[in-house]
Structure 1
């Protein structure tokens, strides 16, 4: 993500001979600083409000919002780290929050996969999903998702001089991509066989899966390219684009939350269908 090898773009490193730690001097364009402040001011209060609304549903033994709550919590971590990074602290404090933000991004990716998996199981294996869907199992999955990025980030923090750090980051980000494609394809394949799921729920699930895949493709696929292609890392403009896309991740998750609310996708699809019907009627009348 915003890795230590951004030295020629965003960081000027000073290696201390005593502690062998990195102390960055962050310098970013003014427009990126303003954009980050706007993202924080809009996204942070809305994310807190969304978590509060979803928490009341979990108290009513509704398991469905658990993954989206954890996704929004990972966004809160990113927002808090953005506040610290914008303040530009000196020395080790900056490095610590830099990797905490990295941890939040990785956790966000994990919970996006969990949301897609949950929707896929609801369509492809509805009976199994309704029996196995419990708060205890969801809690265990959340613990695993929070632990995996920690296992990755800690060695990354202490292994900063590794030449293969970008490749490891790319692999970590690339693994969810085929899973999201599989979940969408499997859902579309099993869509007509899911009798126990209503038509509105089917449209909502497909819309959520498409949105998750779209968000992941737009925000993280360029980062994978940046990590694997050396020429991309040397491109100043492309590297700045990567930083901007990563900082838009919490807002994209917030959009996903609003689309998961009942009625939002239904109204959108209904309006699209109406537009399509009107265009068909116009073409028929002109013929």
Structure 2
């Protein structure tokens, strides 16, 4: 069955296709920086994987599309946003504890638990006929944790002397970005289940907002993958040198001629 290619669906298709193209290399790039002493990108990788599933579901939207599977993935995204924000706080506020207590194995195990929680919550909601209430509650739980992580991170950074101003901006930017992405996703989900579910026209708000949310998550790659940022800066510097090289050559020639005249 072919999807309904109305203007809204075309916009959603373009947004998710663009996000899909950018998410795959971002995941591969973060995989290359994961080490036993650097496990911070693991939750971001899981968040981007959930975004990947989300965008694939949105691209293949047809009438036979499983809405239940889509909602489980969206719930997992909200949970991983909470993990990313909380981990950023722990890295700054408790660096020694985090360095010795966290490993790749622990982070992977927590990630598996996070993937399992939406399935359990959705099954309980489906069996008890309280699916909407459980889903809304599931999306409300990460909010105080993310806000606490943001406030705690700001307080810890204000007292940190060894952290450079650029690193502080990256850390704060990552947590603020997580909060914005979470608000865009959770508010649209809560409004959809409480008010717009029975209104097909207004439910497009949920679809469009949830489509833009993965694009915000992609920006986390810039904050988490420092090597990628350095490579981007190096590329920009090379481009600047290439554009300035002709002028420098002209100045050098002029200088040589001037030097020759002076020697005469």
TM range (shorter): 0.7 to 0.9
- 1:276 maps to none
Between Structure 1 and Structure 2, which shows a larger proportion of helix residues? Answer: 2
- 2:188 maps to 222
Query: Aligned ranges for residues 205-220 of structure 1 at < 5 Å?
Result: 205-220=171-186
Q: Report the Cα distance in structure 1 between the residues aligned to 2:5 and 2:13, rounded to whole angstroms.
A: 13
Query: Aligned ranges for residues 1-287 of structure 1 at < 5 Å?
Result: 30-58=6-34, 62-85=38-61, 88=62, 90=64, 94-95=65-66, 98-156=67-125, 158-159=126-127, 162=129, 164-228=130-194, 230=195, 232-233=196-197, 237-262=201-226, 263=229
Q: TM-score, normalised by structure 1?
A: 0.70
Is the alpha carbon distance of 1:61 and 1:182 closer, same or farther for their aligned partners in structure 2, counting shifts above 3 Å? closer
Q: Report the Cα distance in structure 2 between the residues aligned to 1:32 and 1:76, rounded to whole angstroms.
A: 20
Runs of 4+ in 1 over 6 A off after TM superposition: 25-29
Q: How much has 1:260 moved relative to structure 2?
A: 3.2
Contact 1:184 1:209 in 2 (8 A): yes
Is the alpha carbon distance of 1:40 and 1:223 closer, same or farther for their aligned partners in structure 2, counting shifts above 3 Å? closer
Unaligned runs of 5+ in 1: 1-24, 268-287
SS of the equivalent of 2:109 reads helix
Q: Report the Cα distance in structure 2 between the residues aligned to 1:32 and 1:114, rounded to whole angstroms.
A: 32
Contact 2:85 2:146 in 1 (8 A): yes
Number of aligned residues: 229
What is the RMSD computed on CA atoms of the aligned residues?
Answer: 2.7
SS of the equivalent of 2:158 reads coil
Q: How much has 1:183 moved relative to structure 2?
A: 0.7
Q: How much has 1:184 moved relative to structure 2?
A: 0.8
Q: TM-score, normalised by structure 2?
A: 0.76
Task: Name which one, 1 or 2, has greater alpha-carbon Rg.
Answer: 2
Q: How much has 1:249 moved relative to structure 2?
A: 2.5
SS of the equivalent of 1:187 reads helix
Q: How much has 1:188 moved relative to structure 2?
A: 1.6
Q: Report the Cα distance in structure 1 between the residues aligned to 2:89 and 2:223, rounded to whole angstroms.
A: 17
Q: How much has 1:100 moved relative to structure 2?
A: 2.2
Q: How much has 1:30 moved relative to structure 2?
A: 1.3
Q: How much has 1:237 moved relative to structure 2?
A: 4.7
Is the alpha carbon distance of 1:222 and 1:102 closer, same or farther for their aligned partners in structure 2, counting shifts above 3 Å? closer
Q: Report the Cα distance in structure 1 between the residues aligned to 2:2 and 2:197, rounded to whole angstroms.
A: 17
Unaligned runs of 5+ in 2: 234-264
